């Protein structure tokens, strides 16, 4: 059984080396040099090309290199095999650190001070009151963000499409509940995945429900935001600010208005990046379970999209 690393835009040497050390007798192939396709039974993928997976007749499972699987679910030829995702503590830590950093940045107006520095201008700014944070999407990543914010003294509420239990903060479900929660929050953080249900979820009605001083942070997926409505909300002062790490089109086009939108921070999808050396053990576990015909961990519900 061969493992294929079909990963575009990243150096996979650390992953290949780690897998080779753990599985010295296993044939590990790196796209585009895949050899005899019938040998491949397990694929680790990121930005997988169209019309490739369907050419692997003996494929038994696919694992996304990251926590998100929307790129794979969007393939027209995705085979009917288990699709797994990465669940890894360092990803959750990175995400939590990023969200806290952006909240503090907004709270203490550091961006304004940087602009003042460029203009040699000394002026104290009043800090923004950020006390209550709403987390939209309280799976593994969102739950870690929520718990860390609680530890830093913030009041936290969570929301998800389906009810969650075993959360040490108030957690709500359903679209009506989401809008009610939004009205109470000083900061709204979305970690929602890309699904049909979340497409264009954050539109004019959503932003109108937010407090005027509140900040919107999106570290989930770019499909969730109606971009023109967010720009209008920022320019009209409907909300206080926004930070986006994910976009409908990535990389963000050079002529996109987000680059020139005031009160908006843009980062290039870096909130949580998979470190290959940290996921070797999890991929080896998937491989061994396939070989033993045992159930896989962290399998995605393809209908739900997560």
Active-site annotation holds for 269: yes
Active-site hit among 143, 144, 221, 286:
221
Q: How far is CA 20 from the centre of its chain?
A: 29
Q: Is 203 left (phi over 0), alpha (psi -120 to 50) or beta?
A: beta
Q: Cα separation of 235 and 249, whole Å?
A: 22
User: Dihedral through CA 229, CA 234, CA 240, CA 242, nearest 10?
Assistant: 70
| The token pair that represents 210 in the structure block | 């937010």
| DSSP letters spanning 226-255 | -HHHHHHHHHTTSSSEEEES--SSSSPPTT
Query: What are the Cα distances from residue 30, in Å, to 9, 56, 91, 127?
Result: 13, 14, 24, 50
Active-site hit among 147, 213, 256, 269:
269
Residue 106 φ then ψ, to 5°: -70, -40
Active-site annotation holds for 254: no
CA atoms within 13 A on the CB side of 72: 31
- The residues assigned a catalytic role are 221, 269
């Amino acid at each position: 059984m061969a493992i294929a690393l079909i990963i575009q835009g990243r150096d996979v040497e650390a992953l290949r080396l780690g897998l080779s050390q753990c599985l010295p007798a296993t044939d590990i192939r790196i796209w585009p040099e895949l050899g005899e396709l019938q040998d491949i039974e397990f694929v680790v993928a990121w930005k997988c090309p169209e019309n490739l997976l369907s050419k692997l007749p003996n494929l038994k499972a696919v694992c996304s290199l990251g926590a998100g699987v929307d790129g794979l679910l969007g393939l027209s030829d995705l085979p009917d095999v288990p699709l797994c995702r990465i669940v890894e503590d360092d990803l959750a830590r990175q995400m939590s650190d990023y969200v806290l950093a952006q909240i503090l940045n907004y709270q203490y107006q550091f961006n304004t001070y940087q602009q003042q520095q460029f203009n040699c201008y000394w002026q104290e700014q009043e800090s923004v009151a950020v006390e209550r944070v709403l987390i939209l999407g309280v799976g593994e990543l969102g739950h870690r963000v929520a718990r860390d914010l609680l530890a830093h003294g913030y009041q936290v509420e969570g929301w998800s499409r389906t009810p969650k239990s075993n959360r040490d903060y108030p957690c709500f479900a359903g679209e009506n509940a989401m809008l009610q929660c939004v009205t109470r929050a000083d900061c709204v953080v979305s970690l929602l995945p890309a699904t049909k249900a979340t497409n264009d979820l954050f539109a004019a009605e959503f932003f109108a429900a937010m407090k005027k001083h509140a900040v919107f942070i999106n570290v989930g997926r770019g499909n969730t935001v109606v971009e023109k409505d967010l720009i209008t909300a920022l320019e009209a002062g409907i909300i206080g600010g926004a930070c986006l790490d994910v976009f409908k089109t990535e990389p963000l086009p050079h002529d996109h208005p987000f680059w020139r939108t005031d009160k908006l921070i843009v980062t290039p999808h870096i909130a949580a990046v998979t470190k290959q050396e940290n996921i070797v053990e999890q991929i080896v576990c998937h491989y061994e379970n396939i070989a033993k015909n045992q159930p896989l961990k962290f399998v995605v519900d393809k209908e739900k999209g997560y």
